[in-house]
C-alpha cells in the first residue's frame, strides 16, 4: 500500500470516529470524506461499505469492553470488579453517540468469536459477585443487556449531559443490584440478537 494512501486511510478513520462519536452513525459518507480531505471514491476504496467503516471505527471500543471484563475478573474484590465493568462500559457508551448503534450494527459480524467470550466472562463475574454475597441472587446476566439498552437511551442528549446522566443512572442501578430486598419481575433473556431486530 502506498504511503499517501495509508495516510489517507488513517485520516478517514480518525474523522469517522470523531463524527460518529459526536453525531451518531447517520453522518453521510460524503461528509466524512470532505472532512478528511478526500473524495468519496477514496473512502469506498478502503471501506467497501458504510458498515465496514463503522465496524472498523469501533473495534477499539469493543476491545476496551473486553479488556474491562478481563481486568475485573482479576480484581480481588468481586463486587468492585462487577461495578467497575458496568461503570466503564456505560461511560464508554454515553460518551460516544455511535457506540450502541455500532454495537448492534456489527453484531452479525462479531458473531460467536468475540461475543461468547465476552458473555462468558461477564457470567463468571456475576457468579463470583453472587458467591461473595454482594450481588443479589436473582440478578441475571441478561440484566447486563438491560443496563446497556437503558443506558443507550441517554445517547440522544448532548455528550456531557449524557455522561452525567449515565453516572447517576448507573449509581441507582448498582444500588438496586446490591441490596436485593424486593421481589423482581422475571429476568428477560435479552440476547442482543433480539435487539438487532
Partner DNA sequence: CGCCAAGTGGACGGTGCTCTCCACTTACGA
Partner DNA sequence: TCGTAAGTGGAGAGCACCGTCCACTTGGCG
d(CA 13, CA 16): 5
Per CB under 8 A, the list member of 10, 14, 30, 194 interacting with a second copy is: 194
Q: Counting contacts by CB under 8 A, is residue 137 touching a second copy?
A: no
The site map against a second copy for 102-121 (x = CB under 8 A) is --x-----------------
Q: Counting contacts by CB under 8 A, is residue 182 touching a second copy?
A: yes
Q: Segment contacting a second copy (CB under 8 A): 64-72, 76-84, 114-122, 141-149? A: 141-149
Distance between terminal CA atoms of the chain? 38
> Would you tell me the crossing angle of helices 78-95 and 107-131 to the nearest 10 degrees?
150
Q: How far is the CB of 56 from DNA (least distance, A)?
A: 13
Q: Counting contacts by CB under 8 A, is residue 173 touching a second copy?
A: yes
Q: Which three cell numbers stand for residue 181?
A: 430486598
Q: How far is the CB of 57 from a second copy (least distance, A)?
A: 21
Q: How far is the CB of 143 from a second copy (least distance, A)?
A: 7
Q: What are phi and psi of 103, to 5 degrees?
A: -55, -55
Q: How far is the CB of 110 from a second copy (least distance, A)?
A: 18
Q: Counting contacts by CB under 8 A, is residue 4 touching a second copy?
A: no
The total number of residues written for the chain in this structure: 197
Total binding residues toward a second copy, as defined by CB under 8 A: 37
Q: Decide: residue 26, CB within 10 A, 0-12 exposed, 13-18 middle, 19+ buried.
A: exposed
d(CA 81, CA 91): 15
Q: Counting contacts by CB under 8 A, is residue 195 touching a second copy?
A: yes
d(CA 153, CA 42): 34
Torsion (CA) 79, 169, 58, 194 in degrees, nearest 10: 90
Residues 50-109 that bind a second copy (CB under 8 A): 104
Residue with smaller CB distance to DNA, 37 or 133: 37
Per CB under 8 A, the list member of 78, 98, 121, 152 interacting with a second copy is: 152
Amino acid at each position: 500500500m502506498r504511503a499517501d494512501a495509508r495516510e489517507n486511510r488513517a485520516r478517514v478513520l480518525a474523522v469517522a470516529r470523531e463524527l460518529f462519536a459526536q453525531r451518531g452513525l447517520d453522518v453521510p459518507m460524503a461528509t466524512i470524506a470532505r472532512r478528511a480531505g478526500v473524495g468519496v471514491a477514496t473512502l469506498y476504496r478502503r471501506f467497501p461499505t458504510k458498515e465496514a467503516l463503522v465496524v472498523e471505527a469501533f473495534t477499539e471500543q469493543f476491545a476496551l469492553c473486553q479488556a474491562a471484563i478481563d481486568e475485573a475478573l482479576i480484581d480481588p474484590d468481586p463486587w468492585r470488579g462487577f461495578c467497575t465493568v458496568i461503570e466503564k462500559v456505560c461511560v464508554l457508551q454515553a460518551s460516544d453517540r455511535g457506540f450502541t448503534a455500532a454495537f448492534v450494527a456489527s453484531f452479525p459480524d462479531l458473531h460467536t468469536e468475540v461475543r461468547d467470550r465476552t458473555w462468558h466472562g461477564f457470567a463468571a463475574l456475576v457468579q463470583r459477585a453472587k458467591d461473595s454475597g454482594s450481588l443479589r441472587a436473582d440478578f441475571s446476566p441478561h440484566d447486563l443487556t438491560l443496563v446497556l439498552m437503558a443506558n443507550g437511551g441517554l445517547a440522544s442528549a448532548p455528550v456531557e449531559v449524557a455522561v452525567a446522566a449515565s453516572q447517576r443512572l448507573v449509581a441507582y442501578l448498582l444500588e438496586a443490584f446490591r441490596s436485593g430486598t424486593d421481589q423482581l419481575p422475571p429476568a428477560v433473556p435479552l440476547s442482543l440478537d433480539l435487539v438487532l431486530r
